[in-house]
Each structure stands twice: as structure tokens, then as C-alpha cells.
């Protein structure tokens, strides 16, 4: 038994005792504080580097980059903000509009949930001041998490906020988008993307079902082994640099979610890939860590599975009489072995949370700061690279990232002129075959489904993590809008608008339906996550009611989340204006629209560009074409849903 295991100690109170015993222990909540500090430092470094580039770069380079970014943003706004024309539904960008609508709604719901969770964080801290609601009186930064909460009051609080959070998510990510997506029968029939045709990335479907299942099993086993190794290091290796191990785990998870799982999905039919991506990513991110903790942590079932025996040695005296002449006391050695009974600690959920929160903060540092910074640099570098060095670097980056929309190579005018002289005169821009500008963004919305799942699990348990997730979602949404506008500008110039819109439609496909289709999968894992917490909260004081409480919360989450989607899902073709369902839809839709418009109003306010500064910069560049496009951006709507009006 080690008194340091499962306890919280402040430093330097026990520093000398720990060092003298040859053991190591974290001070308070330092394991959770360190990744937050690292996140802030990385953000500050990126911000300072941006300011330095702005300060020291040449004026010509600054104006060229600023004009290009403004043109991309203006093009993206015009392209996705008006899918319905006076003559009916526009046939050019249904999938793009629907997908961007869903993506922006996810940004809105992440902001709304973060604000709600910040309130929850203060409630956590207040409740933990009462000793009846917690196992430890002083918890340091863990006071802002759901760790170590016990009793009925925290359970009721969790029950309430889970229901409210699920309702907000359904309203903003299902009801509001479904009221705006284009779903006419004619356009769906005319522009439906063939599930498996012309997909040059698709691995042939001659693979047997055994091969597909085997690959999924391999991914799951590798994820379990990785998390098992992490838990062993976390609890038993006592490494002096645990932050490096947690960061390494975040890198491994990023590789799994960005490369391994999408690649393994290519062995499946295209229609099943998105659900597969969502399910496998949740298994890698939530289920595999949960199983590793549940089976390996000494605060969970480890001592139940691996029973340890206790061997006690002792000596006892016995009065013996070896001879008739007298008796003496003689010392005899002896020992006894027994297996102590096992008792569940009801801290398994806290062990799960405290072990993996740092790695999730590192993960969203990678997803929300490092990766967007690299993508933005690639977008700028790959646009109009003039030197041979940058051209070679651009081609190398494009080859690494394949068909990523951020790594589309923009050829300079000289290269375009050479191509124009070598292309047959009978081949114009509207019919020019080009696989060079094919892109794939089908993994964007499945990734957002994972963000929502983590928001409603680890984010609610630790609201500061929810803030980092929200930051990542908003940054990547804005950057995607910029990349879409850049893609349109580049490809329209190369192959014409018709092929450009067709390629972009194929790139997005029906990914906008992923959130609606996978909501039940997300709900299932959310219920499993919180049932463990409720079991520990209730069981600490009432062991007989723990299992019943866990079953109730799991059943309630499934029932509430899925029934809210079923009841409130918008269907304009069958809804009765006077029915209760229609009235409820209208109320929820108005409220959701107000929240969404408020969120994007403030985003637009933050990103607002001063008109006079832009006009002066453009006039200095003596580019009339860019000047016309810059003027149009001032009247564009940043989000297509900010124009929603409910009659």
C-alpha cells in the first residue's frame, strides 16, 4: 500500500518525505495545470510570431497577402450565403451550402455550451466547499471539474445540465440546420453523388468482409494497447516527466484520428465511411481510454482482477520442556497468508477524468493552434510562390497532404502561360480534364461530431477543456471558409466555374447528413460515459443504489436526446402548422436562430475589417480587379444563417 496513491497533496509539504522514500508524486493538480500553461504559451507564441511577421514583412508582401485573403473570404461568402435564387434552388452548390450551414451551427453550439459550462464550473467549485458533496476538502484545480463529487445534489445537477446541453445541441445542430438545408426532390435526384463512382481514393471492394473486420479489430486493439501502456506509466512507472508522456499520447491520438482511421475507412463502401469514422474515433478517444482505466487503474477493477495475497511473518514464544530437568521459553518463526477482500473505491470516474484531461488539452492544442497555423501558412505559401525554393516546397507539401483543400497548389502566371501553349486549342476551360485540383473534405463534419461528443463528456466534466474545444472549432470553421474561397478562385481560373462547382460538390458530398445520422451513436457513448460518474457519485454514500442510478441516467440520456431529435426534427413537407410539434419547432427554431445570429454577430465584429484601411491598401496596389472584389466583401454576410427569418 502506498499512501500517495489516490490522494491529493500540496507541495512542498511532503517534498522531503517523498524524495527520501524514493517515490514521486504530483503536487496538488500540477498534472492538470501544466497542459493549460503550455496551451497558453503556444497560443502566445503563435500570436507574437504573427505580430512580428506583420511588423517586419515588406509592405508589398503584406498588401498582396491581405488582398488575397480578402478575395478568398469574399468569394466564400458569396458562394455559400445564397443557395436559393428567384428561379428556385440553385443547382450549383447544394452540398457546399448544406455542409457549411451544419459546420457553422456546430460552431454556435460549441460557444453556447462553453458559456453554459463556465456557469457549471462555478457551481462545481461552490458545491465542493460543502464537505458532504466531495471526498476531498482541498482539490486545487480539480475543484473546477466533476472529479470527486459525491451524493445526490451533484447527481441532480448533472442530470439537469445534461438535459439542457442535449437540448441545445439538438436545437442548434439538428433543428436549425434542417430548416435551412436544401432538400428538394428534383435537385437531390439531379445532383445526388454516386456513392462509389469515380472515387480515385477508394480501395477496390474485392476485399472480403473478414479483411474489413480484421482491420477494424487491429485499430481497436492498437488503441487499447496504447492506452493500457499509458495507464501503466501514469500509475506505476512514476516517471519524472509525465507531461511529455501525456503530450505523446495526444500526438498518437491525433495520428489515429487524422490518418489511420480515415485510411482504414477506405476499405468500406463510401456510404458507410462517415458513420465508421465517427464510431471508430469515439472508440479510440473515449472507449479505449475508459476500458484501459477500468481494467488497469488501482482505483477501478485492477485489484479485483489481479488479486494480491498478503504474507505476514512473525515469531512466537512457546514454553517447552525438552528434559525432565526443566522447561524453557523458545522462539519459533511462523507466517500466515491471506487474500484481503476487495472493495470498490467509487473513484474510478475521477481516475478516468484526471488521467486523460491533460492529453485532451494537448490534443486540442494540436487541433486548434498548431494544425490551423500550419494550414494557414501552407495556404499563403502555396499561393503565388515566386522563388524556385518555395515552388519546390509547395509541391512537396501538396504531395504530403494529398487532396487536402488547404494544400491546393496555385500555379503562377508564367506556368499557366506555358500550359496554355501546350494544351490543344479545342479544349477550353469548361471541359478541361484535371485531376490535379481534386480535393476531399469529407472528414470535416465527422470530426465536428467528435468535438460535440467530447464537449458533452469531458467538456462538461471540465469546462476549461470545453473552452479549448470551442476555440478549435471556431478557428477551423473560419479557416475552412477561407480555404473554400481560395479553392474557388484557383480552380475557376484553371478549369472554369462549371467544373469547379462540380468538383466542390463532389468533395463535400452528403457529409452534411453525418451529424443527423450519427447522433444516436454519439448519444450511446455519452450515456455510457456519464453512467460511470453517476454510479460513483451515488455509490459513495449509497452503494445499493449505484447501479440503479447509472442505469437511469444512461436510459434517460438515450431517451431524451434521441426523442428530442425525433420530435423537433424539421420536416416542412409533412408538418401541420397548427400542431403541437409544429409550434414547438417554430419556438425552438426562433430561439436557435437568435443564439446563432448572436454568436456570429460577435465573430463578425471581432473579424471586422476597417473599410478605409482596405480601400487605401487596394488603391496603393493599383489593382482595379481586386478593388472591385474588396468592395463587395463589406456587404457580405459572414454566415448564411444570420439571415434566417421565421414567419
Question: Crossing angle for the helix pair 348-365 and 463-495, nearest 10 degrees?
Answer: 30
CB atoms within 10 A of CB 77: 21
Q: Roughly how many angstroms between the first and final C-alpha of the chain, as a whole number?
A: 68
Beta-carbon contacts of 448 under 8 Å, excluding residues fewer than 6 positions away, are 102, 103, 106, 473, 515
Q: What is the rounded distance in angstroms from the CA atom of residue 119 to the CA atom of residue 117? A: 5
pLDDT at position 382: 73
| φ and ψ of 207, to 5 deg | -65, 145
pLDDT in tens, 166-198: 988 888 887 666 656 555 444 444 444 444 444
pLDDT at position 248: 93
Is residue 625 exposed (0-12), middle (13-18) or buried (19+ Cβ within 10 Å)?
Answer: exposed
Per-residue burial over 146-182, b if 16 or more Cβ lie within 10 Å, else e, is bbbbbbeebbebbbebbeebbbbbbbbbbbbbbbbbb
Question: What residue ranges of the chain have pLDDT lower than 50?
Answer: 1, 12-22, 84-89, 184-207, 412-414, 416-434, 572, 609-637, 640-647
Residue with cell 436557435: 592
Q: Tell me the β-bridge partners of 84.
A: 89
Is residue 220 exposed (0-12), middle (13-18) or buried (19+ Cβ within 10 Å)?
Answer: middle
Long-range contacts of residues 133-140, Cβ cutoff 8 Å, at least 24 apart? 135/347, 135/540, 136/8, 138/8, 138/10, 139/8, 139/29, 140/8, 140/10, 140/28, 140/29, 140/33
pTM: 0.82
Q: What is the rounded distance in angstroms from the CA atom of residue 110 to the CA atom of residue 116? A: 10
pLDDT in tens, 54-90: 788 777 878 888 888 888 888 887 777 655 443 334 5
Residue with cell 477501478: 300
Give the largest CA-CA distance in the chain: 128
β strands within 487-570, DSSP E: none
Cell of 266: 477506405
Q: Among candidates 487, 515, 519, 511, which has minimal Cα distance to 193? A: 511
Amino acid at each position: 500500500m502506498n499512501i500517495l496513491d489516490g490522494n491529493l497533496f500540496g507541495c512542498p509539504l511532503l517534498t522531503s518525505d517523498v524524495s527520501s522514500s524514493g517515490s514521486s508524486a504530483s503536487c496538488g493538480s500540477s498534472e492538470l495545470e501544466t497542459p493549460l500553461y503550455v496551451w497558453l504559451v503556444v497560443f502566445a507564441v503563435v500570436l507574437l510570431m504573427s505580430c512580428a511577421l506583420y511588423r517586419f514583412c515588406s509592405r508589398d508582401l503584406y498588401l498582396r497577402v491581405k488582398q488575397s485573403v480578402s478575395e478568398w473570404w469574399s468569394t466564400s461568402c458569396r458562394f455559400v450565403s445564397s443557395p436559393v435564387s428567384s428561379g428556385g434552388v440553385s443547382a450549383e452548390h447544394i452540398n457546399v451550402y448544406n455542409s457549411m450551414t451544419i459546420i457553422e451551427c456546430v460552431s454556435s453550439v460549441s460557444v453556447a455550451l462553453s458559456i453554459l459550462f463556465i456557469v457549471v464550473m462555478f457551481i462545481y467549485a461552490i458545491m465542493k466547499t460543502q464537505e458532504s458533496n466531495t471526498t476531498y476538502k482541498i482539490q486545487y484545480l480539480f475543484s473546477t471539474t466533476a472529479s470527486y463529487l459525491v451524493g445526490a445534489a451533484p447527481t441532480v445537477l448533472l442530470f439537469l445540465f445534461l438535459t439542457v446541453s442535449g437540448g441545445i445541441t439538438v436545437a442548434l445542430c439538428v433543428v436549425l440546420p434542417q430548416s435551412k438545408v436544401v432538400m428538394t426532390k428534383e435537385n437531390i435526384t439531379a445532383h445526388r453523388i454516386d456513392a462509389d463512382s469515380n472515387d480515385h481514393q477508394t480501395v477496390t471492394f474485392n476485399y472480403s468482409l473478414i479483411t474489413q473486420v480484421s482491420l477494424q479489430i487491429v485499430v481497436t486493439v492498437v488503441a487499447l494497447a496504447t492506452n493500457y501502456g499509458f495507464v501503466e506509466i501514469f500509475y506505476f512507472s512514476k516517471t519524472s516527466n509525465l507531461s511529455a508522456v501525456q503530450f505523446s499520447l495526444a500526438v498518437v491520438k491525433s495520428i489515429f484520428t487524422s490518418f489511420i482511421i480515415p485510411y482504414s475507412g477506405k476499405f468500406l463502401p463510401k456510404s458507410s465511411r462517415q458513420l465508421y469514422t465517427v464510431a471508430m474515433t469515439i472508440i479510440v478517444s473515449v472507449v479505449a481510454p475508459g476500458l484501459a482505466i477500468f481494467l488497469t487503474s488501482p482505483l477501478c477493477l485492477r485489484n479485483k482482477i489481479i488479486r494480491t495475497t498478503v504474507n505476514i511473518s512473525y515469531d512466537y514464544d512457546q514454553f517447552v520442556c525438552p528434559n525432565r530437568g526443566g522447561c524453557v521459553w523458545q522462539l519459533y518463526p511462523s507466517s500466515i497468508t491471506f487474500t484481503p477482500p476487495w472493495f470498490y473505491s467509487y473513484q474510478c470516474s475521477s481516475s478516468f477524468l484526471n488521467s486523460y484531461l491533460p492529453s485532451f488539452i494537448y490534443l486540442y492544442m494540436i487541433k486548434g493552434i498548431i494544425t490551423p497555423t500550419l494550414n494557414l501558412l501552407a495556404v499563403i505559401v502555396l499561393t503565388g510562390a515566386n522563388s524556385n525554393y518555395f515552388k519546390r516546397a509547395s509541391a512537396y507539401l501538396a504531395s504530403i497532404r494529398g487532396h487536402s483543400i488547404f494544400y491546393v497548389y496555385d500555379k503562377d502566371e508564367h506556368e499557366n502561360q506555358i500550359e496554355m501553349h501546350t494544351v490543344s486549342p479545342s479544349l477550353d476551360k469548361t471541359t478541361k480534364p484535371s485531376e490535379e485540383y481534386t480535393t476531399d473534405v469529407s472528414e470535416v463534419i465527422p470530426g465536428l461530431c467528435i468535438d460535440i461528443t467530447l464537449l458533452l463528456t469531458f467538456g462538461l466534466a471540465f469546462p476549461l477543456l470545453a473552452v479549448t474545444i470551442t476555440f478549435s472549432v471556431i478557428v477551423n470553421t473560419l479557416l475552412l471558409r477561407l480555404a473554400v474561397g481560395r479553392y474557388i478562385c484557383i480552380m475557376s481560373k484553371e478549369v472554369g466555374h462549371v467544373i469547379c462547382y462540380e468538383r466542390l460538390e463532389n468533395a463535400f458530398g452528403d457529409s452534411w447528413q453525418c451529424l443527423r445520422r450519427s447522433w444516436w451513436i454519439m448519444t450511446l457513448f455519452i450515456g455510457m460515459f456519464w453512467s460511470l460518474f453517476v454510479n460513483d457519485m451515488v455509490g459513495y454514500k449509497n452503494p445499493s443504489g449505484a447501479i440503479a442510478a447509472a442505469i437511469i441516467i444512461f436510459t434517460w440520456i438515450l431517451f431524451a436526446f434521441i426523442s428530442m431529435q425525433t420530435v423537433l426534427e424539421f420536416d416542412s413537407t409533412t408538418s401541420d402548422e397548427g400542431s403541437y410539434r409544429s409550434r414547438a419547432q417554430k419556438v425552438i427554431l426562433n430561439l436557435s436562430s437568435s443564439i446563432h445570429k448572436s454568436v456570429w454577430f460577435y465573430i463578425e465584429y471581432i473579424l471586422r475589417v476597417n473599410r478605409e484601411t482596405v480601400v487605401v491598401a487596394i488603391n496603393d496596389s493599383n489593382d482595379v480587379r481586386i478593388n472591385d472584389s474588396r468592395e463587395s466583401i463589406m456587404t457580405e454576410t459572414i454566415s448564411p444563417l444570420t439571415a434566417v427569418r421565421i414567419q
